[in-house]
Amino acid sequence: MKVLITGGGGFLGSRLARALKARDPKARVTLLDIAFPGGMERDFKCVSGDLAAPEVIARALERDTTSVFHLAAVVSGGAEADFDLGYHVNLDGTRALLEACRHLDSPPKVVYASSVAAFGGKLPDVLDDSTTPTPQTSYGTQKVIGEYLVADLTRKGMIDGRSLRLPTAVVRPGKPNLAASSFASGIIREPLNGVTTECPVPDTTGVWILSPRRVVEAFIHAHDLPADAWPSSRVVNLPGITLTVREMIDAMGRVAGEQAVARVKFVPDVRIQGIVKTWPARFRTEPALAMGFKADPDFDSVVRDYLATEGIVVPA
């Protein structure tokens, strides 16, 4: 197995790389990103550079590559703030990557990380896989275009594509990023690390959530499924759990105590609210469940998993 992971320096990409190597120590895994955490170069081939540059892709994508996980993106808030950069990376980069995949020795499996930001505007209370994408952000638009490109190249036999519309991944470790959804991790991560944080949205805001552990499992499961398990659209909405901000904070309180809850301060941010309110929070995901994808059982377990993974000990 010879693998390329774009966005391989990010927290999901690096976790996916280690999970693939743990499953198959003989797998050859290349990571493409603009930067990498310390130590990744010891274990993986790391290529840094612009995803949209053909010469960079040529260094990362060897002709006998069998599998591509395309995770790299300028995230939602960043793509909305910088129109040109968002389209350069999220559209031009995806197009350049898929074009290079056409010329490999054999059509590779391509797992594409899309987003529920594909949806927006006037929507039903509960969405399913038949709901027409109507993105209301540049990021969502770019992700939908990517889905269509993956489906079309698959139809032509150039790749074997599989697109996953990801819920918001919570709890993300590390520092906040430019994603509009960054608050969903911040209101848990910072308090658990003893830091006061600001929540830019009301506590009634609903969020469709999947833990990082389940996201990585979903990438690998999507890759392993046979081609005929996928619909003609080549895309599914992943299962998740719907929670309000208040329900998330309450779950943190049950696991870590009220001192953590007290570290969350509500400071409205109209720009973030304007983006987040376009995203749906409730889905029926029977197709994905039938394909074997899994949601987290509850948010308490997500908080406990974050504490265990990061080695954080909550005072008794």
| Catalytic positions, written as ranges | 139
Distance CA 233, CA 162 (A): 9
Distance CA 108, CA 174 (A): 32
The tokens for 67 are: 């599998």
Instruction: Report in angstroms the alpha-carbon separations of 146 from 114, 149, 184.
Output: 8, 5, 25
Neighbour count for residue 101 (Cβ, 10 Å): 24
Sign of torsion over alpha carbons 316, 184, 238, 164: negative
The answer to whether the peptide bond before residue 171 is cis (omega within 30 degrees of 0) is yes
Instruction: Select from 245, 256, 230 the least CA-distant residue to 110.
Output: 230
The tokens for 142 are: 């770019």
Half-sphere exposure of residue 263: CA atoms within 13 angstroms, side-chain side: 19
Using CA atoms in the order 273, 274, 277, 279, what is the torsion angle rounded to 10 degrees?
A: -120
The tokens for 159 are: 């790749």
The H-assigned helical ranges of 91-170 are 94-101, 138-155
- Angle (CA) 23-234-80 rounded to 5° is 90
